[in-house]
């Protein structure tokens, strides 16, 4: 009997077994010093990890405030919301609750990463259980295959985005609600996951939200959810999520700058492009591919997908009719990931390249608007490609509507019509709102992840249902072996990164001694002002890395500072930014003799040349390896 006590006991046993096995794998893979936060990897973090740790330290060291996530001492007034430094607010809040015991210097990120890998397997097992898999061995093998998912292992450099177990759990809820045996659809089951995802990373929140929409549309399609019930549940979600956002200070961020959505779009060949791969001998992505669009399924999943299709292809038509709303959401996620640049490998098939839109967005803020700039960049071939893309998407939309009308899915069509009406009204009232929301997702290719995980779940469950148990287990075991072997380059890359010993700054002790005595630390230039420097991109990246290294040291004392690396910052109006940065340089020079003020000026940024000349003559300043440091006396 479905959902019997014995079935749930099997699931619980499989989940506990997966937890133990993955914990052992993590302990073997990661050095102990990495897991406890004591290694040089965490003491001298680089890249995104530096940004996360700086935000986390300032937040934990600060007093409790309202809104919860605002840190006044980090960045220019009124401060920074650590949700924008990708410091994983839910983990930071827990760390702050136990700071009297844990402190604020020891990073919570290794614990978070450990938990992300730990929960990946059980989350997959729960998804397979929702698909009807009840065999313990199949649940365990499926969960292990999910732990070796390439898109998870490739994300090691960004702790927040390692929480892909949230997508598997969201899909498990959706698959549970999509079962025909369920009498009604309660999309509020998604609410806890939406709140947690919001407190982890905005990309994961958007993906879980899309999964929730699939459940909603599926309920309307099967007429197990009425439109009033759907609107009531959506309103309840909006109130709860809105309250959480208000408590966290997301409504106090001020205007959001326009960013180039789709700067890193999905290549349609990416899910079938085996790199990095142990099976196909590719250690890295080709130089002409951006790392964000890595979406390889893995050799094991690819095998299971083919095996499932061989035995089940005749049922695809009936499944498509029953679960069309879920297919629509998957299609929309892929379209959003692909953006306006439909590519297969290096070939642009439809739309326009992302470099055009990026240029229009960054230049348009101060020169007549993004659309005006974009239209000036297009040629007749671009218009043809855009027109064909629009015709293709429009034809697909019309086909869905016609099919829904033919199958008398009136409730579904009414809800879609209502949503479109609301969207049209919002465009009339606030034309830029939709564009601003969408623009936040520069790495749009990530939106293929929910589809990848759904395909993985369906492939594993499809093999289990299509073959006799003994053959299915053999296939799963072979697939697991292939998945492990295929991800060897990713595991080697991950372990190499965890074992890395980042180089310490030669002037580390001098900087720490000065920061310990300072009341405030001023950086010139700040992270955002670095974009106003007349530098080539590679030199700018070096300067930003140097700024990170310096700020990581200063963050050990959590002194008030003007600088912060905020992942949602964008330098749009360069002229206005240049003027602001010039005034910041003047203010920094004027405060050199202010008692308790520490000023750090980078060595190689061109706009600070005259300031550095003045610092050479100042008695309180000294030249370090990467910067000038001045301590007010």
Q: What is the pLDDT of residue 620?
A: 84
CB contact at 8 A, 362 and 572: yes
Considering only 211-215, 469-473, 525-529, which range has the smallest mean pLDDT? 525-529
Q: What is the pLDDT of residue 203?
A: 94
- Average pLDDT, integer, range 377-399: 85
Determine the distance from the C-alpha atom of residue 251 to the mean position of all C-alpha atoms in its chain, rounded to a whole number: 20
**b vs e for 270-287, b when ≥16 Cβ sit within 10 Å of the residue's Cβ?**
bbebbbbbbbeeeeebee
What is the rounded distance in angstroms from the CA atom of residue 323 to the CA atom of residue 331? 13
**b vs e for 193-210, b when ≥16 Cβ sit within 10 Å of the residue's Cβ?**
bbbbbbbbbbbbbbbbbb
| 97-112 confidence digits (pLDDT tens) | 998 888 888 889 999 9
Q: What is the pLDDT of residue 365?
A: 47
In the chain, where the domains are located: 111-496, 508-631
Band the pLDDT of 633: cuts 50, 70, 90: low
pLDDT higher than 90, residue 238: yes
Q: Which residues contact 242 (CB under 8 A, 6 or more apart)?
A: none
Band the pLDDT of 156: cuts 50, 70, 90: confident
Q: What is the pLDDT of residue 416?
A: 93
What is the rounded distance in angstroms from the CA atom of residue 479 to the CA atom of residue 300? 4
Note every long-range contact of 487-491, with CB atoms under 8 Å and residues 24 or more positions apart, other chains counting. Answer: 487/148, 487/150, 487/153, 487/278, 487/298, 488/278, 489/276, 489/277, 489/278, 489/282, 489/283, 489/284, 490/150, 490/153, 490/154, 490/276, 491/29, 491/153
- Tell me the average pLDDT of the chain: 86
Q: What is the pLDDT of residue 256?
A: 60
With vertex at residue 159, the alpha carbon angle to CA 449 and CA 553, rounded to the nearest 5 degrees, is 155
The better pLDDT of the pair 286, 400 is held by: 400
**How much of the chain is in helix, strand and coil states, percent to nearest 5?**
65, 5, 30
| 530-565 confidence digits (pLDDT tens) | 887 888 888 888 888 888 889 999 999 988 998 888
> DSSP class of residue 159?
S
Band the pLDDT of 566: cuts 50, 70, 90: confident
The DSSP result for 338-352, as a single string, is HTTEEEETTEEEEE-
Q: What is the pLDDT of residue 287?
A: 67
What is the rounded distance in angstroms from the CA atom of residue 98 to the CA atom of residue 286? 45
| 486-524 confidence digits (pLDDT tens) | 999 998 888 888 887 777 888 888 889 888 888 899 898
Q: What is the pLDDT of residue 368?
A: 46
The DSSP result for 293-335, as a single string, is G-----HHHHHHHHHHHHHHGGGHHHHHHHTHHHHHHHHHHHH
Please report the beta strands in 41-146, taking only residues with DSSP state E, as ranges in sequence order.
70-71, 80-81
Band the pLDDT of 117: cuts 50, 70, 90: very high
CB contact at 8 A, 108 and 92: yes
What's the token pair of residue 168?
Answer: 């598997």
| 21-33 confidence digits (pLDDT tens) | 999 998 888 888 8
pLDDT higher than 80, residue 450: yes
What is the rounded distance in angstroms from the CA atom of residue 156 to the CA atom of residue 153? 6
What is the rounded distance in angstroms from the CA atom of residue 295 to the CA atom of residue 285? 11
Q: Tell which residue, 476, 483, 455, 485, has the closest CA to residue 136.
A: 476
Q: What is the pLDDT of residue 85?
A: 87
- Average pLDDT, integer, range 482-488: 93
Band the pLDDT of 10: cuts 50, 70, 90: very high
What is the rounded distance in angstroms from the CA atom of residue 105 to the CA atom of residue 557? 9
pLDDT higher than 90, residue 233: yes
Q: What is the pLDDT of residue 374?
A: 59
CB contact at 8 A, 10 and 134: yes
| 305-327 confidence digits (pLDDT tens) | 999 999 888 888 888 888 899 99
Ramachandran sector of residue 408 (left: φ over 0; alpha: ψ -120 to 50; beta: rest): left
What is the rounded distance in angstroms from the CA atom of residue 259 to the CA atom of residue 97? 35
What is the rounded distance in angstroms from the CA atom of residue 473 to the CA atom of residue 466? 12
Q: Which residues contact 618 (CB under 8 A, 6 or more apart)?
A: 592, 630
Q: Residue holding tokens 């004392």?
A: 557
pLDDT higher than 60, residue 128: yes
Band the pLDDT of 335: cuts 50, 70, 90: very high
Q: Tell which residue, 173, 130, 127, 170, has the closest CA to residue 146.
A: 127
pLDDT higher than 80, residue 353: no
What's the token pair of residue 441?
Answer: 């997702």
Return the percentage of the chain with pLDDT > 90, whole number. 41
Considering only 69-73, 139-143, 187-191, 381-385, which range has the smallest mean pLDDT? 381-385
Q: Which residues pair with 623 in a beta bridge?
A: 628
What's the token pair of residue 72?
Answer: 């006044």
**Residue 148 DSSP SS3:** coil
With vertex at residue 160, the alpha carbon angle to CA 159 and CA 163, rounded to the nearest 5 degrees, is 100
pLDDT higher than 80, residue 209: yes
pLDDT higher than 90, residue 44: no
- Average pLDDT, integer, range 425-443: 80
CB contact at 8 A, 345 and 269: yes
């Amino acid at each position: 009997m479905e959902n019997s006590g014995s079935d749930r006991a099997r699931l619980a046993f499989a989940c506990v077994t997966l937890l133990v096995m993955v914990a052992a794998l993590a302990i073997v893979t990661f050095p102990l010093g990495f897991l406890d936060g004591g290694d040089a990897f965490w003491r001298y973090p680089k890249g995104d990890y530096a940004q996360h740790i700086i935000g986390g330290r300032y937040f934990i060291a600060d007093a409790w405030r309202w809104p919860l996530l605002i840190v006044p001492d980090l960045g220019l007034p009124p401060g920074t919301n650590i949700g924008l430094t990708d410091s994983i607010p839910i983990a930071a809040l827990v760390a702050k609750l136990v700071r009297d015991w844990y402190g604020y210097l020891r990073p919570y990120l290794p614990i978070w990463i450990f938990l992300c890998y730990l929960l990946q397997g059980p989350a997959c097992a729960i998804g397979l259980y929702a698909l009807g898999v009840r065999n313990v061995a199949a649940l365990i093998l499926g969960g292990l295959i999910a732990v070796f998912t390439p898109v998870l292992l490739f994300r090691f450099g960004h702790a927040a985005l390692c929480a892909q177990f949230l997508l598997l759990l969201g899909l498990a809820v959706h698959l549970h609600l999509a079962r025909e045996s369920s009498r009604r659809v309660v999309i509020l089951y998604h609410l806890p996951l939406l709140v947690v995802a919001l407190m982890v990373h905005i990309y994961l929140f958007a993906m879980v939200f899309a999964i929730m929409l699939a459940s909603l549309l599926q309920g309307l399609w099967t007429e197990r959810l009425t439109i009033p019930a759907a609107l009531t549940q959506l309103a309840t979600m909006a109130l709860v999520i809105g309250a959480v956002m208000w408590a966290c200070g997301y409504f106090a961020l001020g205007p959001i700058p326009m960013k180039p959505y789709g700067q890193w779009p999905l290549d349609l060949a990416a899910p079938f492009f085996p790199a990095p791969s142990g099976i196909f001998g590719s250690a890295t992505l080709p130089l002409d591919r951006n790392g964000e669009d890595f979406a390889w399924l893995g050799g094991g999943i690819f095998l299971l997908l083919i095996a499932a299709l061989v035995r089940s292809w005749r049922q695809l038509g009936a499944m498509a009719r029953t679960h069309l709303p879920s297919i629509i959401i998957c299609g929309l996620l892929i379209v959003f990931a692909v953006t306006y640049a439909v590519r297969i490998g290096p070939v642009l098939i439809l739309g326009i390249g992302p470099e055009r839109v990026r240029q229009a967005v960054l230049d348009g803020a101060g020169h007549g608007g993004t659309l005006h700039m974009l239209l000036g960049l297009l040629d007749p071939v671009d218009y043809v490609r855009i027109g064909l893309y629009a015709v293709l998407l429009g034809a697909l939309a019309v086909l869905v509507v016609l099919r829904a009308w033919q199958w008398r899915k009136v409730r579904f069509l009414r809800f879609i019509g209502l949503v479109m009406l609301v969207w049209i009204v919002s465009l009339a009232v606030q034309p830029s709102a939709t564009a601003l929301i969408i623009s936040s997702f520069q790495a749009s290719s990530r939106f293929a992840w929910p589809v990848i995980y759904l395909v993985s779940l369906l492939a594993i469950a499809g093999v289990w249902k299509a073959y006799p148990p003994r053959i299915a287990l053999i296939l799963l075991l072979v697939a697991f072996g292939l998945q492990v072997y295929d991800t060897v380059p990713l595991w080697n890359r991950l372990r190499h990164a965890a074992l890395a010993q980042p180089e310490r700054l030669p002037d580390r002790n001098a900087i720490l001694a000065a920061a310990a005595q300072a009341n405030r630390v001023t950086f010139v230039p700040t992270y955002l002002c670095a974009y106003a420097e007349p530098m080539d991109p590679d030199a700018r990246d070096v300067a930003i890395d140097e700024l990170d290294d310096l700020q990581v040291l200063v963050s050990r004392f959590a002194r008030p500072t003007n600088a912060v690396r905020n992942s949602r910052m964008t330098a749009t109006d360069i002229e206005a930014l240049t003027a602001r940065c010039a005034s910041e340089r003047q203010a920094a020079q004027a405060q050199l003799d202010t008692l308790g003020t520490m000023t750090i000026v980078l060595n190689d940024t061109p706009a600070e040349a005259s300031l550095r000349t003045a610092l050479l003559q100042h008695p309180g300043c000294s030249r370090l390896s990467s910067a000038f440091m001045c301590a007010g006396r």
